[in-house]
Structure 1
């Protein structure tokens, strides 16, 4: 069988065979050998950028680089300057992999990875998907992702899809009509797995529930569904397992870094310790012990083209007490730091948490298919929703009460029924947005 996916990576200058072999060697290390490996890689990448990257040198300035804990934390804001100014010596925009973050965090920027680093990223992804019997060269993917709407971007993605043995469904049309054709495609295509954004996949599962169809019964080749890029709530996971009839795997990654965590076959969210070093820090940049909630800060151990050293990705999470340096386990991903609701009393609340409160009230009868929450003032929240029937006054009252109970009394909640929700250009749905600076 022609290894078309591997071939397309090699054709673009990414030595995937060498990367797979290097990853195998890292995975073969025992715990005792892993710690010196990690320490040396961390030191190597720091030394490299201090020597070869003027942007990083000026960023670190007078910090005590002999102590890892004293190395300053970088954020997306620090990186919002022309890419040429951030590249290491010996690298140009033409000799590296260049891409742009989705901007779902509100701070999009262009980043670079050297080709070896990017080859390792692909080796890591292929390794993790392999846990569930997926081979990128032979397994057929049903892809629920955005697609550029300009002609050139559109056909470029379609070509990549062909090389990658995948079929892409639009996430911009989630109507029953659109889902009828998605279902027909599953009936006629031997898909091995589903991969894509959580929210459209959940909408497809709700459609199947209304039709009383389990996807595996019409597409028996289906092995697994892997969701990414948006929060997967427990009740949605149960819905997906029921309606698809296959295991549901949660992936957490960042385009500028790598795959960060991937649910393993024991149902743990295993962190990538092979090519990344993940820390949880408090507000003063102190490292927190396992089990405590804080900012997720990540070092890319192999990216020489561009520094991502102690990079605050903008998410809040907890590493499990069972974690080790070699096998860190992500106990909980709480969401983005900019998804925080500020309230009149000065209290703060995670936007996703009361999105979840509303969700548990709003979705009981299957009338509302999707909704988002927007905050326009300290005391003003709007719930925009898509539904078969408008919410009754009683239903609105119940939702308002639940939100007030969770948040505080002095807030007003309004409702707006819409035909469809706006998604970002990449196709992601932002469940909570605060318009307060």
Structure 2
């Protein structure tokens, strides 16, 4: 047992301090040093974390108004308090950013930079430019979050992704980090069963995937009685992790699910700790939760997610409206011991709401709360058109012959206390978007 423990420590040390450090030297990256830096930041007391955030905010605001043509033209009034200064900046809509991208970039030679395009799950995709330092920083933050979920270098990983054409660099990384990379684009029952069978014979320590992928794997495992598959942890990313998803995944794989919250524009916003609370990476991003009049919401209230990045000086994004809704946390301190600030529940995309005739909102959570009473439905998607008509697409569970549409309609109308224009369409499968994500609620037009 002692020899096995020492071997594990030696492998972890070898990967982090020799192999990955050598990779940084070869590529000009800073992954290892950034990871160690973030580990130290997580141990800081609140006043030191706040001080670091304030300092970095002042630096990015000062740099942006001098070097980014877009912000320079805004004639923004400065202030000695960086948070007061920040409020003088306008809220930046995605469309405005996309239309004026060239005026945000501060590096004249963009060929030196790496361009990353967002998933486009809330509209047309946005392109953001990064240098190697920022990419190293973001990768370090991702691994830090995995470490909160008990990951260590040398642990084996099953990970889903959109692009299966792995570059030489990524293929080497997958090999070194013991990662089996599978497609997130198609999860037919046959494909999932094949992968579950492979997992039984070749166990993995961690499963990292979109929330919907995790849920489909877990549900299939339960339905087909795969009872021996265990993970140290499951890490959810990219989509809203619904309570039903979490419950099913934890039941199927006998482990905790750690949810992460980020955006492909380069923001690693928050992640769950061992206590299940979302910690905001405040020395990396300033998070504002605003109402419809751009006022900060109170604890316990839902607000629009507005982000200011503190690390990317190449394409500075200040008060960028992500298109998400989240709850401001009522909790001031977390029992886990970290003093990074807390975020309440992540509600999801602003587009993931259905409007009732009286002006109420039907959220993903509301829909799941109703439809979980109907085991006849295996999968579903809710679509609302311009006229307000609501269509429920569903895949019928194999154990049932039909779904009583009238009963579903009655329950929806009882929950929302009003008449709804509902129609139903049985389908054989529900395709995912090009991003590999699956949107449970969609508004047309």
TM-score by length of 2: 0.86
Q: Does 1:49 align with 2:64?
A: yes
- For this pair of structures, how many residues does the alignment match? 421
| Counterpart position of 2:5 | none
Asked if the contact 2:393/2:427 (under 8 Å) is kept, the reply is yes
Which of 103, 107, 113 is 2:130 aligned to? 113
- In the TM superposition, residue 183 of structure 1 has moved relative to its aligned partner by 1.2
- In the TM superposition, residue 169 of structure 1 has moved relative to its aligned partner by 2.6
CA gap 1:340/1:48 in 2 versus in 1, 3 angstroms: same
- In the TM superposition, residue 340 of structure 1 has moved relative to its aligned partner by 2.8
SS of structure 2 residue aligned to 1:80: helix
CA gap 1:235/1:343 in 2 versus in 1, 3 angstroms: closer
| Counterpart position of 1:33 | 48
Q: Does 1:257 align with 2:272?
A: no
Asked if the contact 1:341/1:349 (under 8 Å) is kept, the reply is yes
Deviations along 1:78-127, whole A, 9 cap, x unmatched? 21136444310x35332223211101112311111232222221222222
SS of structure 2 residue aligned to 1:289: coil
Asked if the contact 1:291/1:319 (under 8 Å) is kept, the reply is yes
CA gap 1:305/1:199 in 2 versus in 1, 3 angstroms: same
Q: Does 1:182 align with 2:195?
A: yes
Which of 87, 101, 118 is 2:105 aligned to? 87
Q: Does 1:17 align with 2:32?
A: yes
Asked if the contact 1:147/1:154 (under 8 Å) is kept, the reply is no
| Counterpart position of 1:70 | 88
| Counterpart position of 1:395 | 404
Distance 1:32 1:159 in 2: 40
Q: Does 1:96 align with 2:113?
A: yes
- In the TM superposition, residue 302 of structure 1 has moved relative to its aligned partner by 1.2
Distance 2:396 2:20 in 1: 41
Q: Does 1:166 align with 2:179?
A: yes
| Counterpart position of 1:143 | 159
Distance 1:33 1:208 in 2: 45
| Counterpart position of 1:321 | 330
- In the TM superposition, residue 168 of structure 1 has moved relative to its aligned partner by 2.3
Structure 2: unaligned runs, 5 residues or longer: 1-10
Distance 2:332 2:93 in 1: 25
Between 158-167 and 276-285, report the one with greater CA deviation: 158-167
Asked if the contact 1:343/1:378 (under 8 Å) is kept, the reply is no
TM-score by length of 1: 0.88
Distance 2:383 2:26 in 1: 45
Distance 2:200 2:48 in 1: 49
Superposed CA RMSD in Å reads 2.6
Q: Does 1:333 align with 2:328?
A: no
Asked if the contact 1:323/1:329 (under 8 Å) is kept, the reply is yes
| Counterpart position of 1:357 | 369
SS of structure 1 residue aligned to 2:44: coil
Structure 1: unaligned runs, 5 residues or longer: none
